Amino acid sequence: MNERVFTVLVLCTGNACRSQMAEVILNHDLGDRVRALSAGTVPQAKVADGAVEALRLVGLSAADLYPRNVDAVIDEEIDLVVTVCDNAKESCPTFPRPVPRMHLAFHDPHGGPLENFIRVRDEIRARLVPAVREALGLSDSPCPPRVT
């Protein structure tokens, strides 16, 4: 059976920490059913070293990550937008078609010690992965879920 793969956009302000870690974690943990992308409303110049290292410590690669503006993905067929910071929630753009949205705020570890990135990485895995799974109706059943 060919199961549908949902596209999830994780949106943050700088697209340098939280949204990048969320993209990698969602693609790893839900990769058979979810294609995660990330973008920022005001992207930084590069992904934060702490985010890259926090991912590396659990065996996840950040090699292909780079900050991108939400305009670069606005025309994608997105099934769910997840904002992970309050600023991105407030300035979330209007998409060409209606897209369900979810907001889960995470502390911004940028500029802090590696431990802050690790804590946020673990919170993303503990809170965001199950929330996306639930929002998209993903389960272990063989029936394809529907987004409403």
| Of 65-69, 78-82, 87-91, minimum mean pLDDT range | 87-91
The domain spans of the chain are: 6-135
List, by residue number, the catalytic residues. Answer: 12, 85, 92
pLDDT of residue 142: 41
Per the CB < 8 A criterion, the answer to whether 36 and 19 are in contact is no
Which architecture, in CATH terms, is 6-135?
Answer: 3-Layer(aba) Sandwich (3.40)
Residue 36 has pLDDT above 70, yes or no: yes
Q: List, in sequence order, the alpha helices (H) in the chain.
A: 18-29, 49-56, 86-90, 114-123, 129-135
pTM of the shown model: 0.88
